[in-house]
Amino acid sequence: MSDVHELVLFQLGARVFAARAADVRRIAGPLVEHEDEAVGETALGRPWDPRRGLVVKASGNERTLLVDGVLGLKAVPESDFQPLPRFVSDVLPTGALAGFAMLDEVPTLVVDLPTLVREGEPGAAGPREETRHA
């Protein structure tokens, strides 16, 4: 891991999340939820107005996480990354949260997009079986 990480900031519902730019293959335009590769409902919730999609590769396929918007990209130093406290990761219903980063002094959750997309697939093992740390 280099000293600076590029993060994609996106909005899902009322909250803002971050994801590694390397996990995003591209950003898609407005999609409809019934398309095969689209992922709407996840452990983070459902978008209100899915105007963007984050295309990721999971399980050898491209999947598109539907989000309300992509706010941009931001380079964040390594020092601003923090892992989740143990008791927090124990109580969370998903293993897709890699930690949080201080963005403009606001703690923002960093999401492991491939894990999140896999948790949403039919027959997935469940959010807690595979946890990936940043």
Partner 1 sequence: MPDRNGSTRARARTPRSRDGDAAAIAAVLRAHAEGDYARRVDAKALRDPALRDLAREVNRAAEKADERGSEIAARMEAVRVGLDEAIDAMVRLVVEGDLSGTLRLAVSDATLTPLIAGVGQVMETLKRFVKEIREAALQLSSSSAEVLAAATQNENSTSQQATAVHETTATMEELKGASHQIAENAQMVASIAEQTLSATRQGEGAIRAFMESMEKVRRNAVEVDEAIVKLSRRVERIGTVVEVIDEIADRSDLLALNAALEGAKAGEAGRGFSIVAAEMRRLAENVMESTREIKNLIGEIRESTHAAKEASDGNKRMAAEGERLGGAAMASVTGILTGAQGTSDAARLIHLATQQQRSATEQVVQSMGEIEEVTRQAQAGSRQATGASAELARLAERLAAMVQRFKVE
Q: Which residues bind partner 1 (CB under 8 A)?
A: 6, 8, 21-22, 24, 26-29, 51-52, 70, 72-73, 75
* 13 secondary structure, DSSP code: T
Evaluate whether 9 touches 68 at the Cβ level (below 8 Å).
no
To the nearest whole angstrom, how small is the minimum distance from the Cβ of residue 81 to partner 1?
16
Q: Using the minimum distance from each CB to partner 1, give the nearer residue, 21 or 88.
A: 21
Q: Using the minimum distance from each CB to partner 1, give the nearer residue, 9 or 84.
A: 9
To the nearest whole angstrom, how small is the minimum distance from the Cβ of residue 60 to partner 1?
20
| H helix intervals, the chain | 86-91, 113-119
Q: What angle do CA 33, 115, 78 make, to 5 degrees?
A: 120
Evaluate whether 114 touches 123 at the Cβ level (below 8 Å).
no
To the nearest whole angstrom, how small is the minimum distance from the Cβ of residue 72 to partner 1?
7
Q: Which residues pair with 70 in a beta bridge?
A: 10
Q: Using the minimum distance from each CB to partner 1, give the nearer residue, 52 or 63.
A: 52
AA letter at 91? V
To the nearest whole angstrom, how small is the minimum distance from the Cβ of residue 21 to partner 1?
4
Q: Using the minimum distance from each CB to partner 1, give the nearer residue, 24 or 98.
A: 24
Evaluate whether 95 touches 84 at the Cβ level (below 8 Å).
no
Q: Using the minimum distance from each CB to partner 1, give the nearer residue, 43 or 74.
A: 74
To the nearest whole angstrom, how small is the minimum distance from the Cβ of residue 54 to partner 1?
10
Helix (H, G, I), strand (E, B) or coil at 64: strand
